[in-house]
Chains A and B, each alone.
Chain A
């Protein structure tokens, strides 16, 4: 049993804050928006106590830009928002992809499009996280269904941002963000942290900020340090200077995509419940995975071979893992609160896409076990 001082009873947004602090966040810039504002409120209090910086910017565009600037000075950086703000961040998110700036962006999803349903749950931004910014690129997006995992995935997001020199999106949702539940604060060191990899190239020796090492990582040099280089959103050479040389352009876009897509297995995080002999496999993530697990456990108690694959890494999509988990199932039920963002990917992962069904809700009401059971009856041809 964990000692009392490590047990917290907090909102998911606070669990995210605890995870970010554990990971060593040093800079936050943001703009208030429901249902994510608690993240910035807590960091406004917590960061200055430990020498970190907090700033409320004039909008989400500026927030995203400010964290990129701060990251270049060597800090671990975070911003948090929800749908409309996430839309505003897309251009600078693409900049962070292109210029390979480690940063973490939280999107506590609410109903969209537009202002939508500000205080109610949706998971409608899954494809926006993947393709919201223009141009070919790869992205990492993580999610979680409970506060312990919100904490862990937040730490993972910072680790992956440093490892791959990339923005990482945390796609939480209103239910997880606002709900209060128990969370046990891990001891320092319990979850390993990835720190900024800085170059060992000494002063006066040519440093290449955009030349990957053999292991694919790119050591950085902080602004203010001895290496003066250029950072740009244009296609650029290994020194960071603009280039439209076709070889340079091709090499960079391949590098940006491959550094993520070639590491799908290392980036994939998921939880498997009762999958060994499952004939019906549910695939879900975020808060909806809680309702799915509720149904899976009650079906198991009735002797029905149900299982759940809870995805925590949404992008890059772990096609092989999903194929393995669902390949032998009689039917696959994707439970999500959108019009089938992940369901489409699950179908792509499987040879028999005809067995894949979407169970969703789009009206801002959190999908309940009753909703799922009703969908099960419909799929089985038994009516409501």
Chain B
């Protein structure tokens, strides 16, 4: 595959690569690859730290966990290609979980001392609900989960989780470079991306996905409705990361959108305004876990943050999309 790709690129690329290809090249080099490298490095670091201690309240374990989770949020919008092979992204991030499959599966696993944790390759076959960042959060931060079973088992379980997470992250990076990057750069000469525009569109859609998921799910889920706010449904509230995730995810999608619109001053200055609106709105939030959703006065502030993400989404859709020549139709965009 590697050799074949290189061969085709050498054979078929025109000498002066098109603007679309150059754009995809820049975005992969400056946005995609560095972020997946960070994910691979931070998850490997977490696995290394976890291997050295069974004290799960250890400050290094916790800070390594946060660094790795930050790195995941920073790529969580890039849901295509290597993240989707063998359901890797689902295994890294099983959330939302409205029917509480993760705590239920962890409870069963810990109380029965499921031996699946003994070998990393076995853990990769475990239920997706007990893998990745959101399952690790229960082990590190959820007291009812921590009270289950034996500490030795919990330690071994956490080690298996961190190794699995590191292996998944490395596998994604390994697939990105050089193969998947080469595939996108050879857009127009392969079946996956039949025109150069399709590679641009893939990256554009990733940016939209990031804004949309943050607006609807990361922020929308705890907001619930005015009459029925759902603070306990905030993402990663046990580790106090709900707002942090929303901010990092928005920044990541925005970084991608800005890079896609690089060189256009109108687009950049509009993103400047929208970013300012977003950061001003988030600065006014007091609770890191959107606890204010239940109080009408602080709820409004969270709604303003959601609106700020929606504005970014709208402008990306209606401003950046047409600029890139990748606008989508009414039915194509929102099917059912």
Q: Do A and B come from one complex?
A: no
Using a CB–CB cutoff of 8 Å, the interface residues on chain B facing chain A are: none
Taking Cβ atoms with an 8 Å cutoff, the residues of A that contact B are none
